[in-house]
């Protein structure tokens, strides 16, 4: 009886541990997404957390965050500060239109065995480099698997009327094409987005949207949809608020030496009342 109880507790603890690992999510959240007037600024929080938009795990790696101004030109964030659990920074809105604030990376991820020990490149927190990949990954390694990956994290802020230039695709990795503008989302209206993988429809991409406030709910109340044959998804929101929005895609159309292609896309979107 005691053994059975102990085993149950251990299994429960293991399950909880796995859940917490899987629950870590990275995000960039603006304090406002739609503004008007002159000489406006927006502040941002960015972190990796257990609870959506609550900084309680680690500050992540956001020092390289980029911004495209409404005319498509790069601009800089200001007052970047890294704390114990989050980054904070500000953006001056000097043009009217839609700004994109983002991070993006792509490359190859390899796993193999040496002398019975598992090896991988790049390591945790390490940026990918093709030069380092060629140096450190043996071509004839035991149980070698190589994955082509892309990661993109975005959020959008509009001063005045929304514009489209910053929403154009780069045709690299998994990307969102806004059929519905990301700063024109309303609780009573369905939103449509299209996903591309390296410039082509990401058919079957799995998308999840979760409204803020999960700490105060018994269930996450996820919205889960899959992209259709054109890479398009339609979302009906669970009320107004800020949403963590994530898409994942995988296929076997990788470029050599990779055999698997994976893409991850994350955005923070604000849905306004009707």
Averaged pLDDT for residues 132-137? 93
Averaged pLDDT for residues 82-86? 97
pLDDT in tens, 186-243: 999 999 999 999 999 999 999 999 999 999 999 999 999 999 999 999 999 999 999 9
Averaged pLDDT for residues 60-81? 96
Parent domain of 100: 20-106+146-271
Specify the CATH number for the domain of residue 73. 2.60.40.1930
Averaged pLDDT for residues 22-41? 91
Percent of the chain exceeding pLDDT 90 equals 84
pLDDT in tens, 40-65: 999 999 999 988 999 999 999 999 99
* Cα separation, 144 vs 124, whole angstroms: 18
The answer to whether residue 128 sits within a structural domain is: no
Residue 114 in this model has a pLDDT that exceeds 70: yes
Contact 105, 133 (CB under 8 A): no
pLDDT score at 3: 42
The answer to whether residue 113 sits within a structural domain is: no
Domain count, the chain: 1
pLDDT score at 23: 56
* Cα separation, 140 vs 106, whole angstroms: 23
Percent of the chain exceeding pLDDT 70 equals 92
The answer to whether residue 35 sits within a structural domain is: yes
Residues in contact with 265: Cβ distance below 8 Å, sequence separation at least 6, in sequence order:
151, 152, 153, 154, 173, 174, 175, 176, 195, 246, 247, 248
The answer to whether residue 191 sits within a structural domain is: yes
The answer to whether residue 240 sits within a structural domain is: yes
The answer to whether residue 115 sits within a structural domain is: no
pLDDT score at 6: 37
Residue 21 in this model has a pLDDT that exceeds 50: no
Averaged pLDDT for residues 174-191? 98
Bridge partners of 74, per DSSP, are 68
Per the confidence metrics, is the pTM higher than 0.85? yes
pLDDT score at 24: 82
pLDDT in tens, 95-107: 999 999 999 999 9
**Selection from 179, 172, 156, 154 nearest residue 267 by Cα:** 154
| Average pLDDT score, the chain | 91
pLDDT confidence bin for 13, thresholds 50/70/90: very low
The answer to whether residue 209 sits within a structural domain is: yes
Residue 88 in this model has a pLDDT that exceeds 60: yes
The answer to whether residue 159 sits within a structural domain is: yes
pLDDT score at 209: 98
pLDDT in tens, 142-170: 999 999 999 999 999 999 999 999 999 99
């Amino acid at each position: 009886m005691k053994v059975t109880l102990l085993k149950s507790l251990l299994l429960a603890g293991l399950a909880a541990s796995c859940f917490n690992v899987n629950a870590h999510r990275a995000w960039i959240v603006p304090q406002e997404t739609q503004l008007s007037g002159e000489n406006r600024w927006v502040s941002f929080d960015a972190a990796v957390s257990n609870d959506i938009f609550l900084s309680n795990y680690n500050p992540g790696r956001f020092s390289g965050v980029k911004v495209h101004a409404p005319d498509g030109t790069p601009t800089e964030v200001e007052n970047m500060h890294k704390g114990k659990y989050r980054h904070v920074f500000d953006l001056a809105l000097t043009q009217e239109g839609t700004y994109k604030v983002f991070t993006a990376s792509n490359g190859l991820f390899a796993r193999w065995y040496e002398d019975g020990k598992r090896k991988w490149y790049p390591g945790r927190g390490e940026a990918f480099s093709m030069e380092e990949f060629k140096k450190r990954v043996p071509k004839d390694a035991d149980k070698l698997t190589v994955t082509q990956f892309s990661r993109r994290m975005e959020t959008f802020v509009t001063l005045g009327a929304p514009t489209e230039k910053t929403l154009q695709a780069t045709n690299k990795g998994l990307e969102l094409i806004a059929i519905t503008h990301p700063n024109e989302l309303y609780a009573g209206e369905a939103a449509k987005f299209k996903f591309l993988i390296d410039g082509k429809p990401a058919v079957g991409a799995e998308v999840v949207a979760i409204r803020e406030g999960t700490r105060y709910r018994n269930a996450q109340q996820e919205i889960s949809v899959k992209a259709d044959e054109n890479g398009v998804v339609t979302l009906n929101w669970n009320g107004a608020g800020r949403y963590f929005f994530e898409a994942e895609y995988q296929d076997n159309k990788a470029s050599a030496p990779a055999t698997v292609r994976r893409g991850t896309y994350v955005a923070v979107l604000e849905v306004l009342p009707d």
